[in-house]
């Protein structure tokens, strides 16, 4: 009886629910990797974050997803096409970025075919939230927007709420100074919006839903929140990206190496879990890989190299006796022999790091640049 009840409630609730994913940000804080790909294409344990979001949505019964795109839209369209995981995918293309609110109004025709509320997701969030819970809570009130809320130590990078015991948000403030934050409960970037939102967001304008719409709804008692616990990471900065990769590896590769097809690993390589290795990668002898390493498709790791707590994008070439710790290496980058890269350094796509070079403390190398000398202080190589 209990099982039947649980089953019936979710299915009836998700009927006809659509989701809009905000997928157009520049990912400024993730440069230089975001110079060549949208943030949503960043691989987390070897799969683009958008792929993981779409899988999650389809498992919750969503059938139609609208991607609000502009920056590097072609890459997303090329990779995801018109359907994925059994869901229809449509694109709403902005010629000029419309912020976080404008794209919702722009996609009105795609989202208002029925009278149902719909989900809106920031595309740069990895979370274990149950989308059905928030839809269910939204339907119980007269809210125009219901926000998923998550508790964090430092809310100053986020939208922060003051909420009462009935789940009503009294005020919403975007990126407050830490001493002015009304609580530590933040907007987790997952909302349910009612069709009435289309009468509130003006058309054709760049609008910040967080600065211009949510405070207004709070004033009108039409903004509600649902606190949740579990996994939640925003991929804003390189550090977040390494953390998201770690969390995902803990979930999928803790007990067994997450291995794709045609990988060649020397039997003298030492793999310390959790580790994910992509299709066609080659790991030579006397290498130490892990813990917390994702190695993308077609990567070569040569003899004697050590990689720990790092993300290696596809087709990178890591030569012999090199050491990489806490760093991100872009697609097709060439890291020559006896190199040392650590402390949140980022090597852009197709960059070349010459033999014997050391990069530490947040050095960022732009795509296709060559680094010939060691850099030991934060610097961007342009």
Token couple for 145: 């927007």
Q: How far apart are CA 31 and CA 15, in angstroms?
A: 39
Token couple for 110: 């795609």
Known catalytic residue: 18? Answer: no
Place of tokens 């939230």: 129
101 binds Mg ion (CB under 5 A): no
32 binds, among ligand GDD, Mg ion, none (CB under 5 to 8 A by kind): none
Which C-beta is closer to ligand GDD: that of 210 or that of 349? 210
Among residues 15, 88, 113, 175, the one annotated as catalytic is 175
| Site residues (CB under 5 A) for Mg ion, limited to 122-161 | 124
CA-CA-CA-CA torsion sign (196, 61, 73, 315): positive
25 binds ligand GDD (CB under 6 A): yes
- Residues in CB range of 127: below 8 A, 6 or more apart: 148, 188, 190, 230, 231, 232, 233
Rounded to the nearest angstrom, the gap between the alpha carbon of residue 234 and the centroid of all alpha carbons in its chain is 6
Which C-beta is closer to ligand GDD: that of 173 or that of 273? 173
Contact window for ligand GDD (CB under 6 A) among 18-26, 107-115, 294-302, 345-353: 18-26
123 binds ligand GDD (CB under 6 A): yes
Q: Shortest gap between Cβ of 188 and ligand GDD (angstroms)?
A: 6
379 binds ligand GDD (CB under 6 A): no
| Site residues (CB under 6 A) for ligand GDD, limited to 202-231 | 210
For the packed helices 131-139 and 2-14, what is the interaxial angle rounded to 10 degrees? 80
Q: Which of 103, 236, 290, 348 binds Mg ion (CB under 5 A)?
A: 236
Instruction: Please check whether residue 258 is in contact with residue 46, taking contact to mean a CB–CB distance below 8 angstroms.
Output: yes
Q: Shortest gap between Cβ of 240 and ligand GDD (angstroms)?
A: 9
Length of the chain: 382
Helix, strand counts (H, E) of the chain: 8, 35
- Among residues 352, 286, 291, 360, which one has the least CA distance to residue 318? 352
Residues binding Mg ion: number (CB under 5 A): 3
Residues binding ligand GDD: number (CB under 6 A): 27
Q: Shortest gap between Cβ of 358 and ligand GDD (angstroms)?
A: 32
DSSP letter for each residue of 180-206: G-S-SEEEEEEEEE-GGGGGTSPTTS-
Q: Shortest gap between Cβ of 64 and ligand GDD (angstroms)?
A: 17
Which residues sit at the interface with ligand GDD, rule CB under 6 A?
22-25, 39, 68-70, 94, 97-100, 103, 122-125, 158-159, 174, 186-187, 189, 210, 234, 236
Query: Which positions touch Mg ion (CB under 5 A)?
Result: 124, 234, 236
Would you please indicate which residues are annotated as catalytic (active-site) residues? 175
């Amino acid at each position: 009886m209990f099982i039947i009840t649980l089953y019936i409630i979710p299915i009836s609730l998700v009927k006809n629910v659509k989701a809009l994913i905000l997928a157009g940000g520049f990912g400024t804080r993730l440069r230089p990797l975001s110079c060549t790909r949208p943030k949503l294409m960043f691989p987390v344990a070897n799969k683009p974050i958008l792929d993981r979001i779409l899988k999650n949505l389809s498992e919750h019964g969503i059938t139609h997803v609208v991607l609000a795109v502009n920056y590097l839209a072609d890459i997303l369209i090329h990779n995801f096409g018109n359907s994925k995981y059994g869901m229809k995918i449509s694109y709403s293309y902005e010629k000029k970025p419309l912020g976080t609110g404008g794209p919702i109004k722009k996609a009105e025709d795609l989202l208002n075919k029925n009278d149902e509320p719909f989900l809106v997701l920031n595309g740069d969030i990895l979370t274990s939230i149950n989308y059905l819970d928030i839809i269910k809570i939204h339907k119980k009130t007269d809210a125009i927007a219901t926000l998923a809320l998550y508790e964090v130590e430092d809310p100053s990078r986020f939208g922060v709420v003051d909420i009462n015991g009935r789940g009503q948000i009294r005020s919403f403030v975007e990126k407050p100074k830490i001493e002015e934050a009304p609580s530590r409960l933040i907007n987790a970037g997952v909302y349910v919006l009612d069709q009435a939102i289309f009468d509130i967001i003006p058309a054709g304008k760049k609008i910040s839903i967080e600065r211009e719409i949510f405070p207004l709804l709070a004033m009108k008692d039409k903004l509600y929140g649902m606190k949740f616990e579990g996994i939640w990471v925003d991929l804003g900065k390189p550090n977040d990206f390494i953390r998201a990769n770690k969390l995902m590896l803990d979930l999928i590769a803790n007990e067994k190496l997450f291995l794709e097809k045609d990988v060649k690993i020397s039997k003298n390589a030492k793999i310390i879990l959790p580790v994910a290795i992509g299709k066609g990668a080659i790991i030579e002898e006397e290498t130490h890989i892990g813990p917390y390493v994702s190695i993308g498709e077609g990567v070569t790791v040569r003899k004697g190299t050590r990689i720990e707590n790092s993300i290696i994008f596809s087709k990178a070439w890591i030569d012999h006796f090199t050491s990489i710790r806490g760093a991100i290496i872009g697609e097709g980058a060439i890291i020559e022999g006896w190199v040392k890269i650590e402390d949140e350094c980022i090597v852009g796509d197709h960059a070349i790091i010459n033999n014997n070079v050391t990069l530490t403390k947040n050095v960022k190398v732009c795509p296709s640049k060559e680094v010939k000398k060691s850099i030991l202080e934060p610097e961007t190589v342009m």
